[in-house]
Structure 1
């Protein structure tokens, strides 16, 4: 018999203890020496610091923080999803990346989301077993710990097990998200029982426990990676995908994942994408991550302008135009490198950027643009013919989480992981307390396109975990959630920091504009009527004002004097928590 998935307690005594933690524990900026961490969750940041204080390294602490985020931020991430980890190994002076992106089940075909030649309704595709990719998170954590960590699963999962078992106070952001996905969550009995007790969202201030997720973590702590990819837990995942636990009167499409898909899942250790910008060396995630390539192309475009010498509005206009051009190419060419020969060398060529820069006007917004032709810059005579033109892109989910960790020895981890949409597929695995991803809807539904579904393929991602170096030493690490807005969020924050003279806290807090090659860039609420918004309208820009915030940045700056400054989002999504081992005075 499985345990009841929902555990809700309201305890004034326990809650008062948690809420009376020192204000410094919840602050968005912290400077000092030793290791550092920034996440969106106070509990996750505390978990990372606990592991660092126990002698763990940055990789150990990153896994501990990520596992805790799976408890406190379950609508954005968890072991039912996947991610990208960028790691700097200080002793070896090298950057490696761990791709544990979800994969398409072996039964997948290119027409997976088509009926009679037409795409099925997107929301119907999301809330189904059909949307679930083979989860990669646990395999990625195992690769990270086995290769580069110093602790076991038992040690690094202990803080998350404690939070899931003892509970944490639900914040306004958590409460709002469960209400926002009321219809999707109410469709599945296991999800409704856990996150919609009595048919309503969990109120802010409630002490929330998830003993089934603690059970899943304990199984992994005891049995290692095999406990997730085989045995009872794997069978429960496959059963939930093939037979979604819908409530009476509700429907959800069944998926086709098999136990063999889980058993055969592999993470990938990949060479990072490298580019340079104004004296910085920028390292990020390679394909199937599109973020670092798109970021690199946009930075190459901007490098042709002296942004510091320009008026603020004109510099931001050029940021918008560079992002627009980079997205035109990103949308046309990038996908899983095991299935598609993408022209990465051409896209990152400084000469290609110089050619593409000719499409940018210093004074006038361009509107939507066509993709360029990077193939002439590949320098590879065996390169295949240009692909057919891509069709219109599918929508991309907005919701992931990002964390950054460093340790006293100089190792750095920039890690973004996700279950895709808010609440993923909406399916909580019965008896195990975690939500399954809907990553398959990150594929484009219609061919021809490099990013169509195929068996074993990993959908293209916008996640952009980044580490920047100057003079061979780490300068800052940064990343964000937010679907395709991740790329523009990281780009704009870097431009704010490197070009516009902001310190990192100000760069993170600044209003955001996301230009992804549409006629109307998206802006945060209130921006269009602000002086900055009106100044940009003089360049011909018109806005699509989003009902919500864009991105949730977490970063670490490595200061010239050897200290570190951890920077979390100050207000978006309720604000994050930055911690250092030894606070500065």
Structure 2
């Protein structure tokens, strides 16, 4: 999204990371290329500079994993409010030699001393206000997993050292990028939070305001941090000097004198950092119309929920339905899968998650019986019973179900930020990787002198503590995520790789894009650009205004009601920002990104066709 500026004149004006140069002329706006077709490898991300970093690695002989880490590190520069080494994520990898899909769970963890009432204000005995108070606090900061994920991926499957993989991003941070309207808007929307924290205000609010569109933003502190990590390795981050700096800022956030936000201290220690490990997980897998759809297993709910929804939709033969019938089925399947997500999915290190049954075709077929082809169910719908004993029904014969009588005590507070990237190389290896710091701007707490923001991922735990809730707060636990990096294979070879940001709407964005592409005859770019709606087992469907305008009236006849995703012109008005690859006959790769959402994404190939 931001055009890289290779050099600035010596007479450039420099102010706390923001610079411009009249002598060099005004910076040029970024060239947005949301679609590319070619050979030799491909990268798609939300940002042009990040995509260029990944393509550069591929052109120098690196593989898909090397390119993924380089792209992700560059996103830490140009998308610092969505991702970075202060956060976590989930990494899905296809090995062309073995035809095997592997995954890394790089989710943040709760500190060992985090109490079950961490979200309760001791002064009032009531929960903290979610935003901005709880989000903008040390309480919300989990033990970061992104850097460990990069190191693990490179050691297992990469060809570059961590230092070499970080070099393009370090150079980018030094040179700077041109601020676009999305970066400016995200900064403006977080101005009150950022101005509460001394190092955050210094770095991201130079002169007291958001960097202006068209100016150049530099982050030499992050450049130095990347280079230090390349030389010293993970130990300085996970328990060493940098780790000590992170724990200090979490335990004593440096508030500005003028803020009225409490910015509560958190619980992270260097001991927590030393104990952190990324986890290799067996991916989820479902069979859909002869294709193998691989996703991320818990602690993320992405693979189980997308997979279950596909299994629910499989008996409905979406290709044969009218557009309103298809969308009705998609919305109803999403609600059913989200009911089961809430009931059963959490960190498998702490709760027993029936992953195999949730993703079984039998359970999906049984849940599919709950869909009335002519009428939307009253929401919230109750969870099913993934017990291995399933009943089937005739097509279109919906069984009677009562709405869940319990009011939902767990409102959806997942941040709509995050970022996704996909890479492929000339050998056929593929990566689908989603990384995040949760809310746009994370906790708002920047590590002084280090150039990166810490996450607020612990707010992904359920806000109201319930001993029966699989996503309740527990020390050392990974909060449930919705991240859904996905790879689809046909006869053991890649067909699609995709994923998206968007909090819990990630799941529905990936599901809707998959069914658009596989069932509705859309090309991948068309499937990405299509208007979006997200039904997460709520009374009203959250939707983009374009979806409401185009389909709202037809779907109202089924009983669906709609709520706009956000105010017009706000970043919340859009749902997701999907990036994807499609592997075409003859060896070509189609790289696709958003044409407009988040200012448009950037897709590129090594050798354009």
Q: State if a TM-score over 0.5 links the two structures.
A: yes
User: What is residue 384 of structure 1 aligned with on the other side?
Assistant: none
User: What is residue 565 of structure 2 aligned with on the other side?
Assistant: 546
* Inter-partner Cα distance in structure 1 for 2:485 and 2:145: 17
User: What is residue 436 of structure 1 aligned with on the other side?
Assistant: 454
User: What is residue 319 of structure 1 aligned with on the other side?
Assistant: 330
Map residues 394-433 of structure 1 onto 2, 5 A cutoff: 394=411, 395-433=413-451
For residue 144 of structure 1, the aligned residue among 149, 153, 165 is: 153
Q: Which string of whole-angstrom CA distances, capped at 9 and with x for unpartnered residues, describes residues 180-207 of structure 1?
A: 0111111101111111122211111110
| Cα displacement (A) at 1:272 | 0.6
* Inter-partner Cα distance in structure 1 for 2:188 and 2:112: 35
| Cα displacement (A) at 1:473 | 0.7
| Cα displacement (A) at 1:256 | 1.4
Map residues 194-233 of structure 1 onto 2, 5 A cutoff: 194-233=203-242
Q: Does 1:524 align with 2:538?
A: no
| Cα displacement (A) at 1:13 | 5.9
* Inter-partner Cα distance in structure 2 for 1:241 and 1:310: 53
For residue 282 of structure 1, the aligned residue among 290, 293, 309 is: 293
**Unpaired segments of 5 or more residues in structure 1?**
379-388
Q: Which string of whole-angstrom CA distances, capped at 9 and with x for unpartnered residues, describes residues 340-383 of structure 1?
A: 001112211211122212211101111311111112449xxxxx
For residue 86 of structure 1, the aligned residue among 89, 92, 110 is: 92
User: What is residue 8 of structure 2 aligned with on the other side?
Assistant: none
Q: Which string of whole-angstrom CA distances, capped at 9 and with x for unpartnered residues, describes residues 13-34 of structure 1?
A: 6575654x7x4xx310000111
Contact 1:345 1:377 in 2 (8 A): no
User: What is residue 385 of structure 1 aligned with on the other side?
Assistant: none
* Inter-partner Cα distance in structure 2 for 1:390 and 1:5: 51
Map residues 99-138 of structure 1 onto 2, 5 A cutoff: 99-115=105-121, 118-123=126-131, 124-138=133-147
User: What is residue 32 of structure 1 aligned with on the other side?
Assistant: 38
User: What is residue 249 of structure 2 aligned with on the other side?
Assistant: 240
Contact 2:27 2:178 in 1 (8 A): no
Q: Secondary structure at the match of 1:474?
A: strand
Contact 2:516 2:527 in 1 (8 A): yes
Q: Does 1:181 align with 2:187?
A: no
Contact 1:284 1:464 in 2 (8 A): yes
* Inter-partner Cα distance in structure 1 for 2:15 and 2:254: 13
* Inter-partner Cα distance in structure 2 for 1:5 and 1:452: 44
Contact 2:286 2:360 in 1 (8 A): no
Contact 2:17 2:206 in 1 (8 A): no
Q: Which string of whole-angstrom CA distances, capped at 9 and with x for unpartnered residues, describes residues 464-520 of structure 1?
A: 000000111100100000000000000000010000000000000000010000111
Q: Does 1:474 align with 2:480?
A: no
Contact 1:30 1:565 in 2 (8 A): yes
* Inter-partner Cα distance in structure 2 for 1:494 and 1:68: 27
* Inter-partner Cα distance in structure 1 for 2:128 and 2:450: 30
For residue 596 of structure 2, the aligned residue among 564, 571, 574 is: 571
| Cα displacement (A) at 1:245 | 1.1
* Inter-partner Cα distance in structure 2 for 1:11 and 1:536: 53
| Cα displacement (A) at 1:233 | 1.2
Q: Does 1:60 align with 2:78?
A: no
Contact 1:335 1:342 in 2 (8 A): yes
Q: Does 1:370 align with 2:377?
A: no
**Unpaired segments of 5 or more residues in structure 2?**
1-13, 391-405, 567-572
Greater Cα shift, 454-463 or 344-353: 344-353
Contact 1:367 1:517 in 2 (8 A): no
Q: Secondary structure at the match of 1:304?
A: helix
Q: Secondary structure at the match of 2:217?
A: strand
Greater Cα shift, 79-88 or 259-268: 259-268
TM-score w.r.t. length of structure 2: 0.91
Q: Does 1:360 align with 2:371?
A: yes
Q: Which string of whole-angstrom CA distances, capped at 9 and with x for unpartnered residues, describes residues 208-242 of structure 1?
A: 00011111101111111113223321111011100
User: What is residue 381 of structure 1 aligned with on the other side?
Assistant: none
Quick one: structure 1 residues 103 and 390, their matched pair in 2 at CA, closer, same or farther if it must change by over 3 Å?
Answer: farther
User: What is residue 536 of structure 1 aligned with on the other side?
Assistant: 555
Quick one: structure 1 residues 373 and 367, their matched pair in 2 at CA, closer, same or farther if it must change by over 3 Å?
Answer: same
Quick one: structure 1 residues 72 and 345, their matched pair in 2 at CA, closer, same or farther if it must change by over 3 Å?
Answer: same
CA RMSD after TM alignment? 1.6
Q: Which string of whole-angstrom CA distances, capped at 9 and with x for unpartnered residues, describes residues 319-359 of structure 1?
A: 00000100011011100000000111221121112221221
* Inter-partner Cα distance in structure 2 for 1:391 and 1:118: 18
Structure 1 runs, 4 residues or longer, greater than 3 Å off? 12-19, 115-118
* Inter-partner Cα distance in structure 2 for 1:391 and 1:516: 12
Contact 1:333 1:343 in 2 (8 A): yes
* Inter-partner Cα distance in structure 1 for 2:524 and 2:532: 14
* Inter-partner Cα distance in structure 2 for 1:263 and 1:97: 22
Q: Which string of whole-angstrom CA distances, capped at 9 and with x for unpartnered residues, describes residues 445-469 of structure 1?
A: 2213111111111000000000000
* Inter-partner Cα distance in structure 1 for 2:174 and 2:71: 16
Contact 1:332 1:390 in 2 (8 A): no
Contact 1:489 1:514 in 2 (8 A): yes
* Inter-partner Cα distance in structure 2 for 1:373 and 1:115: 36
